[in-house]
Amino acid sequence: MIDQSPSTGHLFPPAAADLSSRLLDWYARNQRDLPWRREPTPYRVWISEIMLQQTQASRVVPYFDHWMRVFPHVRAVADADQSGLLKVWEGLGYYTRAKNIQAAARIICAKHNEQLPSSLSALLSLPGIGPYTASAIASFAFHRNVPVVDANVQRVMARILNISQPIKFSPAQKAVHSAMKDLIPQGQSPSLNQAVMELGALVCLPRSPACSSCPITGFCRSLAADKVHARPVLPSKRKSTAIEVAAGVLVDQERILIQKRPPQGLMANLWEFPGGKLQPGESPEQALIREFREELELDIRVEDKITLIKHSYTRFRVTLHVFWCTLARPGQEPVLHAATEARWTSASSLSSYPFPSADRRLIQMLQNEGGPYAGRSN
């Protein structure tokens, strides 16, 4: 249910001021010390908001600090080599985010004198900045009185209002935005928006909400109706697809072959160990021999198995079979049919390239002192 006050037409009656005050008081005492909050410049807010997409704040902090050391301003991002940029981003996943940051940075330098624009329309015109991120920059960096609605805010407001419709449906979305507008005191947009976000991150949790510690329980309609655990109403989760993949660590004269993925598609422009998906009825060893021949025109011998790595992405659950490989005919060089580049490199140099997460786990294994690469040669 979504209740409205018939006298005002708003989701909150005059008691909204009391609710806002309680939220702001709680936030002043309980907010986390996060680096982008200490110095909320437009550039820092922008980078933090992109990094925080589908990533927990605690995990983002070291990446954000490192990014700011390497790219302290928009011009540094615009002028960066993309491979180096992706290397700094490595581990955060969803690499399109980093590429969009650079594309937007170049537009900002060319059209906005190296400064992020303050208007929502101008922000929305930049690659990678959608309605949520534009609102966050407008509120946190430019103090615009606009609601900033992320998953935490949706959950808190769905519970306060006891919204029985799916939270992603338009009526529920409109109700949340309207309620947040009612709550924002003039000039306090950054604090109020972040107060609701923080409440969702620390107290009004998805599975185990700490209602006994909540500063606004008297306003929570779902608590009064004993519906807290049923709010928000979420869509059914999409099932992830299981994929089996084989990868080969091809060693020749103490060098390892790596290849660069195409500029479009999944994990674009990242480096990887050659290999591919297993076809029906195919063993990992057979898949490697086929993939090396089809994609690189290399004849290989598949030797010992190094490891088996399981890794989950948003839509895929990957089982990665990894083998040592050698050239069946010495002196062969790769001929590219899918990758954009192939390169022989040392095991110690692998960490200087941006790799997908599963490959990074393999690299750590290869580089560990006394690990499976120790003393390995063909």
Decide: 123 and 137 in contact? Cβ < 8 Å: yes
**DSSP string across 259-280:** EE--SSSTTTT-EE-SEEEPPT
Which whole-number Å values give the CA distances from 147 to 3, 179, 186, 371, in the listed order?
20, 9, 12, 51
Residue with tokens 């063993």: 283
Q: How far apart are CA 259 and CA 341, in angstroms?
A: 6
Given the residues 49, 272, 291, 295, select the one marked as catalytic: 49
- For strands 316-327 and 241-252, give the pairing: parallel
Helix (H) or strand (E) holding 320: strand 316-327
* CB-CB contact of 34 with 202 (8 Å): no
49 is catalytic: yes
Angle between helix 96-111 and 42-51 (nearest 10)? 160
Q: Annotated catalytic sites, by residue?
A: 49
